[in-house]
Amino acid sequence: MLSLALYFLAAAPALAQGDGIYRITPLRPVAELRALALQAMPPAETGNFRPSDLVDLAALDPTIRLDIKYATAHNFLSTPVYTEARALLQRPAAEAAVRAHRRLREHGFGLVVHDAYRPWFVTWVFWEATPKDKRDYVADPAKGSRHNRGCAVDVTLYDLDTGLTVEMPSLYDEMTERAWPNYTGGAPEARRLRDLLRAAMEAEGFTVYEHEWWHFDHRDWRHYRIVNVPVEKFR
């Protein structure tokens, strides 16, 4: 388990992409925002929802790779926001992701998961840390994220032969038009792999987010409430 002290790592002073990570300068220190987020309350919701049934994706299929960026400093805020590197999804979404992974294996690729269930307080931190002109790439905590419902997953591909993560048209969490799933620039092979990923996920009931090729929402997301429990609390 990562030490809670890691939450207090200083954020990067400026945008940097040389290490393959897209970074921003947070509007306020992440440690300060996290303390405030833990005091905030998710939006109230009414209606009939299914009971939450978050399951560990890696336990369903250990050949799905985990590269949980937010459990490390290798993310757009340059500091950990999770204390454990786990990928949890509501059971229907998790089972659909496993089917997509197995579908991709027929093409020589497998899934790499960067994020799945995300506690609501982390969404609050992301929103408050991100400049207003880049907020199309983070969810509004007043509405909640589909990650908060355990029905969104951030994924890319790895090559079964080499074991290497493939090149895509943009970096993960990149806040530019290169991240759009319909972006027509960049290398043709990168676009082909992006589209292969999208086709496999959509075949299993996911929809890609309009600004992020890696972000997929499961069709059942409306059936689950926003959850605000830290990842490490689930066993």
Whether the pLDDT of residue 210 is over 60: the answer is: yes
Q: Is residue 120 domain-resident?
A: yes
Q: Is residue 75 domain-resident?
A: yes
Mean pLDDT calculated for residue range 98-116:
98
Res 17: pLDDT? 53
**Alpha carbon distance 39, 225 (integer Å):** 19
pLDDT tens digit sequence for 14-69: 454 568 999 999 999 999 999 999 999 999 999 999 999 999 999 999 999 999 99
Residue at 37: amino acid letter = A
Going through 29-85 in order, the beta strands assigned E by DSSP cover 54-56, 65-66
From the number of C-beta atoms within 10 Å of its C-beta (0-12, 13-18, 19+), residue 133 rates as exposed
Q: Which of 18-22, 80-84, 171-175 has the lowest mean pLDDT?
A: 18-22
- pLDDT band for 11, please (50, 70, 90 cuts): very low
Mean pLDDT calculated for residue range 126-135:
97
Q: Could you tell me the CATH number of the domain that includes residue 205?
A: 3.30.1380.10
The pLDDT mean for the chain works out to 93
Q: Give the chain's domain count.
A: 1
Give pTM, 2 decimals: 0.92
Please count the CA atoms within 13 angstroms of the CA of 153 that sit on its side-chain side: 40
**Alpha carbon distance 21, 174 (integer Å):** 8
Per DSSP, the three-state class of 59 is: helix
Q: Is residue 87 domain-resident?
A: yes
Res 19: pLDDT? 83
Q: Where are the alpha helices (DSSP H) in the chain?
A: 30-37, 57-60, 91-105, 120-129, 188-203
Residue 97 structure tokens: 């992701």
State the sign of the Cα–Cα–Cα–Cα dihedral 84, 152, 119, 145: positive
Q: Is residue 188 domain-resident?
A: yes
Whether the pLDDT of residue 13 is over 70: the answer is: no
**Alpha carbon distance 36, 39 (integer Å):** 5
Domain of 71 in residue numbering reads as 4-43+53-233
Residue 87 structure tokens: 């990928």
**Alpha carbon distance 161, 146 (integer Å):** 33
Q: Is residue 48 domain-resident?
A: no
**Alpha carbon distance 125, 172 (integer Å):** 18
- Find, among 234, 225, 231, the residue nearest to 42 by Cα: 225
* Dihedral angle, C-alpha 81, 172, 123, 57, nearest 10 °: -80
Do 79 and 30 meet the contact criterion of CB atoms below 8 Å apart? yes
pLDDT tens digit sequence for 174-192: 999 999 999 999 999 999 9
Q: Is residue 132 domain-resident?
A: yes
Res 235: pLDDT? 80
Residues labelled as active-site residues? 212
Q: Determine the Cα angle at 37 with ends 74 and 226, to 5°.
A: 90
Whether the pLDDT of residue 83 is over 80: the answer is: yes
Do 118 and 90 meet the contact criterion of CB atoms below 8 Å apart? no
